Amino acid sequence: MSDHQTLRPVATRRLATLAVLLLGVGASQARQAEPSPANPLSTPDASGWVQTTTPGGRIDRNNAFFQGLGSNGRSCDSCHRQAQGWSVTPQELRQRFERTSGMDPVFARVDGAVSPLADVSSLEARRSAYALLLDRGLIRVGMPIPANAQFRLSAVDDPYGYASARELSLFRRPLPSTNLIWLTAVMWEGRETFTPFNPPMDAGIDVQNLRSSLARQARNAILGHEQASRAPADAIIDSIVEFELHLVTAQVDDRDAGRLNEADALGGPAILALQRFWVGINDTLGNDPTGDAFDERAMHLFDSWDDPGQSGSDRRGRARATIARGEKLFNSMRIDITGVAGLNDVTGKTVIRGSCSSCHNAPNIGNHSVPLPVNIGIADAGRRTPDLPLYTLTSLATGKRVQTTDPGLAMITGKWTDIGKFKGPILRGLASRAPYFHNGSAATLADVVDFYDSRFHVHMSAQQKRDLVAFLSAL
């Protein structure tokens, strides 16, 4: 943790120009290539086309990212696929399973199976051993209860008979290995970030810190997921970090609305690569280092499509108007935020009158602009499905008990109040990488919207839900 740096204005200014300098944004990126089957930068997805840009205008398939560096034949590309927004979908995994009878390297017992001891000796055995990977694209992250924890594991209900305090099985979705330049926390609970998570909410991550975080992440991925016996040379790690740090991904074309950067709209990866950003930008709690107040209009990609005159009344025009309405709802639809650890307790407010952008505040990117993991309840016992382990934790101080499928940040800090906290991920390229949330519990973007509607009692109309989904699909 030696090279952690807290945010200072100088670091801030550096970050503001970061995307332009580091991504080498130039002619190749400003020109958005036409999405087509012939263009290797774009691939079809659930609602149109997703596209990745790089400064050189091509994906370097010779990079170590695509090479097996360990003992099980896996590479980063086993779980981070360009065509799936640099995550991986159950649909593609099922195709890989059928094609290889479950022998593709991604199907490795260490963390691809429901238990590292699962029977994988026959095709049918493999089908059940890899059920969570095939159903929801979940990888098993094994972690011990930290030694200093303020709680103990008082009961385990693991359908696969493996988990214990020595190693909890936490089933999580691969986060996209793209758009990394805007990360403020690395991994779902931020464990690979070099910055302390709490309490200082203004602690940031500068370029050096981000590179160090990603280097450590890559090294651990090679030792863990790829089962290497020792860490590869620093030069290899650096080349992987350099590669992934330059990827920018977003939806570029919508089946109904057409090109997402037409008629003055700002969708697509070429414009995203130019996005202004610094740690703390548009901070909800007033900690933007520039002193600017929080603006709930965090997303302003499709303002120009809000004009019925311009959109027209044809199918395309109506689709554009729908997306624009969804963006407005994202920014301003009232959500009474209650019971969110990391937010309501930190601010001392039982009810925060907010919106989606209260938490997804980084302009046009959609993650938290500070490392602020919060608990919105995805891992709550009440939402547990029988195929996930359930853990009962007991507070050493008070004897209080809580049940969860994933303690999240508490597995790193050992703090009782950090149970169930996860970061708000970047919201670009969503349509290419269902399912959503850390445990893949939302199969579609409509399920995501339904979750928020019931969790925060928003009472959205069917029309509002459709508008929001259309907007999220266009990111």
Contacting residues for 173 by C-beta, under 8 A, at least 6 apart = 87, 136, 137, 138, 139, 435, 436, 437, 438, 439, 440
| Of positions 328, 360, 384, 465, contacts ligand HEC by CB under 6 A | 360
H or E element in which residue 272 lies: helix 269-272
Q: Establish if 114 lies at the interface with ligand HEC (CB under 6 A).
A: no
Smallest distance, ligand HEC to C-beta of residue 310, A: 25
**Integer Cα distance of 93 and 474 in angstroms:** 24
Tokens for 387, please give them.
Answer: 């195929």
Closest by Cα among 225, 217, 222, 268 to 245: 217
Stretch that binds ligand HEC, among 51-59, 156-164, 256-264, 334-342 (CB under 6 A): 334-342
Tokens of 121: 């000796």
217 is a contact residue toward ligand HEC (CB under 6 A): yes
- Angstrom distance (rounded) from CA 75 to CA 67: 5
According to DSSP, residue 281 is labeled: T
Choice from 33, 118, 129, 183 touching ligand HEC (CB under 6 A): 183
Dist CA 300 CA 297 (whole Å): 7
Q: Looking at 245-253, 383-391, 394-402, 424-432, which segment touches ligand HEC (CB under 6 A)? A: 424-432
Select from 6-14, 113-121, 212-220, 383-391 the region that touches ligand HEC (CB under 6 A): 212-220
CA distance 287 to 434: 32
Which residue in 98, 94, 96 sits closest to 132, CA to CA? 94
Q: Tell me the closest approach of the beta carbon of residue 437 to ligand HEC, in angstroms.
A: 4
Among 114, 218, 245, 474, binds ligand HEC (CB under 6 A): 218
CB-CB contact of 42 with 18 (8 Å) = no
If one asks whether residue 362 binds ligand HEC (CB under 6 A), the answer comes out as no
- Would you say 378 and 188 are in contact if contact means Cβ atoms under 8 Å apart? no
Query: Among 452, 467, 473, 474, which residue interacts with ligand HEC (rule: CB under 6 A)?
Result: 452
Q: Shortest approach of ligand HEC to residue 242 CB, angstroms? A: 11
CB distance 295 to 282 below 8 Å? yes
Say whether residue 228 binds ligand HEC (CB under 6 A).
Answer: no
Does residue 425 touch ligand HEC according to CB under 6 A? yes
Q: Which is nearer to ligand HEC, 257 or 378 (CB)?
A: 378
- Is the peptide bond between 199 and the residue preceding it cis, with omega within 30 degrees of 0? yes
Total residues in contact with ligand HEC, by rule CB under 6 A:
52
For residues 262 and 48, give the distance between their C-alpha atoms in angstroms, rounded to a whole number.
15
Give the separation between CA 356 and CA 374, rounded to whole angstroms: 14
Tell me how far CA of residue 352 lies from CA of 285, 291, 366, in angstroms: 11, 21, 19
- Using rule CB under 6 A, residue 328 touches ligand HEC: no
Nearer to ligand HEC, 149 or 352 (CB): 352
Any contact of residue 182 with ligand HEC (CB under 6 A)? no
Is 76 a residue that touches ligand HEC (CB under 6 A)? yes
Q: Quick check: 469 binds ligand HEC (CB under 6 A)?
A: no
Query: Sign of dihedral through CA atoms 345, 392, 381, 177?
Result: positive
**By the rule CB under 6 A, 438 interacts with ligand HEC:** yes
Residue 109 interacts with ligand HEC (CB under 6 A)? no
| C-alpha–C-alpha distance, residues 472 and 323, integer Å | 8
Query: Any contact of residue 140 with ligand HEC (CB under 6 A)?
Result: no
- 134, 201, 240, 279: which one contacts ligand HEC (CB under 6 A)? 240
Q: How far is the CB of 191 from ligand HEC (least distance, A)?
A: 7
Q: Residues for the chain: how many in total?
A: 475
Among 468, 470, 473, 474, binds ligand HEC (CB under 6 A): 468
Closest CA to 365 of 2, 11, 1, 15: 15
| Least Å from the CB of residue 94 to ligand HEC | 16
HSE of 136 in the Cβ direction (CA atoms, 13 Å)?
21
Residue 221 found at the interface with ligand HEC (CB under 6 A): yes
For residue 133, the SS3 value is helix
Q: Toward ligand HEC, which CB reaches closer, 317 or 424? A: 424
Q: Is 172 in the site for ligand HEC (CB under 6 A)?
A: yes
User: Nearest approach, Cβ of 264 to ligand HEC (angstroms)?
Assistant: 24
Write out the residues near ligand HEC by the rule CB under 6 A.
65, 74, 76, 78-80, 111, 139, 141, 172, 174-175, 177, 180, 183, 186-188, 214, 217-218, 221-222, 225-226, 240, 244, 330, 335, 337, 340, 343, 354, 356, 358-360, 374, 376, 378, 422, 424-425, 427, 430, 436-438, 448, 452, 468, 472
